[in-house]
Homo-oligomer: A and B are copies of this chain.
Amino acid sequence: MRMSKWVDFTRFGDFDMTADPATVNDEFLEELRAIVEQRLSTSEAVREQHGHGESYHPTCAPDAVIFAKTTDEVSAVVKACAARRVPIIPFGTGTSLEGHLAAVRGGVSIDLSQMDRIVAVNSDDMDATVEAGVTRKQLNEHLRDTGLFFPVDPGADASLGGMAATRASGTNAVRYGTMSENVLSLTAVLADGRIIRTSRRARKSAAGYDLTRLFVGSEGTLCVITEVTLRLYGIPEAISAAVCSFSELEAAVNTVIATIQCGVPVARIELLDDIQMDAVNKYSDFDYPVQPTLFFEFHGSTAGVAEQAEMVGDIAGDFGGSGFQWATRPEDRTRLWQARHDAYYAALALKPEARGMATDVCVPISRLAECITETKKDIDDSGLLAPIVGHVGDGNFHLVLLIDPDDEEEMARCTALNERMVMRALAMDGTCTGEHGVGYGKIDFLTAEHGEGVSVMRAVKTALDPSDIMNPGKIVRV
């Protein structure tokens, strides 16, 4: 495998995969069993399953997996691990993408999926408190009769604790924000087992350092998140959807910029490039033009969504958009958005034997057209197949690189393409990850992005986890 300048895929973060594992011996396992009873597993299958996310990163299994039921249990397990300096890796649904779950120094995976209780829904306050293992679909199902919903949608039906830990976002962040804007408070187990709640349930506070937002996105490296209090929103009276094609990518992006500048409170704006549209047509038997295409969703009153759609139709027309269709009936909306929903599977179907490697840069929107155009040229020059899907309202886009992980030469080309893409985004004042997080896969890019800032992160990490037992080897090297 080629040694990349930025990322060395033969190593996990700063850890050699062959380094000494932590001491998880029988005595220690007995100690853990005293806490969680039968909810501990050392079977190879369970350990393997907990040693990877949904990405191309290789599996690196923990020594043991415990299935926690309560915050107090997590606290007791962390205390036991801390006493022996055994690493801890929190696990939600296993859908992370940058090697967050790899047990690079062995240790104990704390599976939170059985902490699936909805603790409280406060309709008047439009918030809910859930245990970390509750998934976003589970919460929305529970909320169905309240007229409220939780908007953040990263695609996967991830656990809300995991979404908080990775600062997830997704298609409707342009309207509703990311997990950063939507977590009101956390219950967190610190590296020494102490339990804190980071904030009260008030909508805003100026009471000291913002521990909530320090922990959102900390990927298990500072604490184990066991409960999350989330903002909820009223289900809009009306939802409408629209689709529009453009002959040039730049025109599509300019339509997005103008839409946002006009203050249209669009709920979703997604871009699919020509390759992705071709994939979607083939996969679902659509006959969309094979052109850069924008998918919109509008939330509001009946009159409001009509007005929004009309404004966006006018703006798209000004930029040469064609075939503008919009729909309000649920079945028509679903049909219209089907292409977007199918995007990932449609991409994979272009090369059925391949696996998907998802990249994730985010740039100021003024640079988005340039960044995508240059990236497309780079894809073509590299001879790789990589459809583009973008949350363009945020300046965030992904390639789905269709790769064979066993083909070292192809992997090297993909890795090099991703590196150039990240460095291009950084040069445009963008970020190496809009929403997937750092894990160990982007640990070197983080230094490229933050420079001295990483030393501040390291100082925080060392202060809160002096023995480096909390998901070691992720975000910062200690």
> A401 in the interface, Cβ–Cβ < 8 Å?
no
Q: What residues of chain B lie closer than 8 Å to A303, measured between beta carbons?
A: 303, 307
Residues A124 and B456 in contact, CB atoms below 8 Å apart: no
8 A Cβ contacts from A400-442 to B: 425-426, 429-438, 442
A438-B201 contact in complex given A213-B213, A303-B303, C-beta closer than 8 Å: no
8 A Cβ contacts from A193-210 to B: 194-210
A207-B261 contact in complex given A201-B364, A451-B196, A460-B460, C-beta closer than 8 Å: no
CB distance from A438 to the nearest CB of B (A): 6
Q: What residues of chain B lie closer than 8 Å to A460, measured between beta carbons?
A: 209, 214, 460, 463-464
Q: Which residues of A contact B (CB under 8 A)?
A: 122-127, 147-148, 166-169, 173, 177-178, 180-181, 190, 194-211, 213-214, 216-218, 222, 233-234, 236-237, 257, 260-263, 265, 299-301, 303-304, 307, 311, 362-366, 394-396, 425-426, 429-438, 442, 445-446, 449-454, 456-457, 459-464, 475-476
Q: Which 8 A-B pairs have the closest CB atoms?
A: A463-B463, A124-B366, A205-B431, A213-B213, A234-B263, A202-B362, A201-B429, A125-B364
Residues B217 and A452 in contact, CB atoms below 8 Å apart: no
Residues B122 and A434 in contact, CB atoms below 8 Å apart: no
Residues A433 and B207 in contact, CB atoms below 8 Å apart: yes
Residues B213 and A438 in contact, CB atoms below 8 Å apart: no
Residues A202 and B364 in contact, CB atoms below 8 Å apart: yes
Residues A202 and B234 in contact, CB atoms below 8 Å apart: no
Residues B438 and A396 in contact, CB atoms below 8 Å apart: no
Q: What residues of chain B lie closer than 8 Å to A429, measured between beta carbons?
A: 200-202
A452-B196 contact in complex given A126-B261, A263-B234, C-beta closer than 8 Å: yes
Q: What residues of chain B lie closer than 8 Å to A205, measured between beta carbons?
A: 362, 431, 433-434
